[in-house]
Amino acid sequence: MSGTSLDGLDVAICEFTCDSTWSGRILQFNVFDFPDALRSSLKKSMDLTAVELWKLDKSWAHFAAECISKTSTELLPRVQLLSSHGHTVFHNPQDGYSVQIGSGAVLAAQTNLPVVCDLRSLDIAYGGQGAPLVPLVDSTLFGEYTACLNLGGFANISILPKAWDIGVCNNLLNILAREQGVEYDAEGSIAKSGKIIEGLLKQMLSISYHRLPPPKSLGVEWLQKELYPLLEKVADHPLEDRMRTAVEYIAISIVNDCPRAGKILVTGGGAFNLFLIQRLNELSDGVEFCLPESEIINGKEAYAFAFLGLLRWLGKPNVLKSATGAIKESSGGAVWLP
């Protein structure tokens, strides 16, 4: 899988067992940098023609298959199933679609493995958001936590039986960081040196999405519509101040949606933003934000979609209707056999 933050292709080799309950572990996790041309195409994927998008669909899959071939020569022969989330281009469940590119046929042909892909479409057909899908994994494999918070391109949270996208996270921070010629704000150092732009923060927090009840989910379209215009109005402010404001907005949005007590598992690239984690702790009271080992921080989403693909392969439900708003639970995913 790859995320909208475009920080690379995640490939996890995972092992799952089930006696009376499921358990699992990540045996190996790698992130592969996108070639410049592929990354550029992914960045502008929403604006491509239909023909260009289909070409990108194949290109992503060929690159993914190539990366899979570079994983452990010891572990790869043991792999029985390939689960591919792909790369999200469009996510508009209100109009009945969510598009993840990454041809399952190419992956099956190139890897000689059965492939599960297109994991969101069936839930959307049943009236759901097609997201978030990870809550079923959280309840099954991470049940010791009060909630599970993922800080990826967007921030999302599972507080069973519900789960939802809270708001933007790394997508916003990385856009700002690139103004300084870096891909991300390492440890939050740029933001930490700035001051909050109070007017901008107030406008961000007043965005109507934050008042909607779950189930709800976000795509890059929302970022372009709601946040880009606000950022354009303050483009003349120092980068440090805009970054500081962005971190505060993200932190407040997250704390507003978190439980008031308990242990919260924090994963995703944003977990390495020390200043963001600091602000979460300072803004909350009675909540313990738990950072696991780096493999889970980095690889939890890939690990989760491996498990969801396995459930689809076994014909078991892999979506919680309480999380997505669908009329029924389903076993979503298209299967391609080599």
**Domain 9-129+299-336: CATH class, spelled out:** alpha beta
- pTM (2 d.p.): 0.87
Residue 97 token pair: 């679609």
Q: Of 10, 259, 30, which Cα lies nearest the Cα of 158?
A: 259
156 - beta bridge partners?
Answer: 150, 165
Q: Which of 232, 175, 226, 179 is nearest to 205 (CA)?
A: 226
Measure the CA–CA gap between 289 and 308, rounded to whole angstroms.
Answer: 25
Q: Tens of pLDDT along 220-257?
A: 899 999 999 999 999 999 999 999 999 999 999 999 99
What pLDDT was estimated at residue 148?
96
The SS3 of residue 6 is: coil
- The predicted pLDDT at position 58 comes to 98
Please give the pLDDT value at position 5. Answer: 80
Q: In whole angstroms, what is the distance from residue 184 CA to residue 61 CA?
A: 26
Question: Distances in Å between the alpha carbon of 120 and those of 74, 130, 137, 147?
Answer: 32, 5, 15, 22
Q: Say which DSSP state 69 is in.
A: H
Tell me the C-alpha to C-alpha distance, in Å, between residue 221 and each of 113, 117, 120, 202, 237: 34, 23, 17, 21, 25
Same fold, 9-129+299-336 and 135-295: yes
State the architecture of 135-295 in CATH terms.
2-Layer Sandwich (3.30)
DSSP state of 151: E
| Residue that has been written with the tokens 């006696």 in this structure | 19
- The domain spans of the chain are 9-129+299-336, 135-295
pLDDT tens track, the chain, 338 positions: 998 888 899 999 999 999 999 999 999 999 999 999 999 999 999 999 999 999 999 999 999 999 999 998 899 999 999 999 999 999 999 999 999 999 999 999 999 999 999 999 999 999 999 998 999 999 999 999 999 999 999 999 999 888 899 999 999 999 999 999 999 999 999 999 999 999 999 999 999 999 999 989 999 899 999 999 999 999 999 999 999 999 999 999 999 999 999 999 999 999 999 999 999 999 998 899 999 998 899 999 999 999 999 999 999 999 999 989 999 999 999 999 99
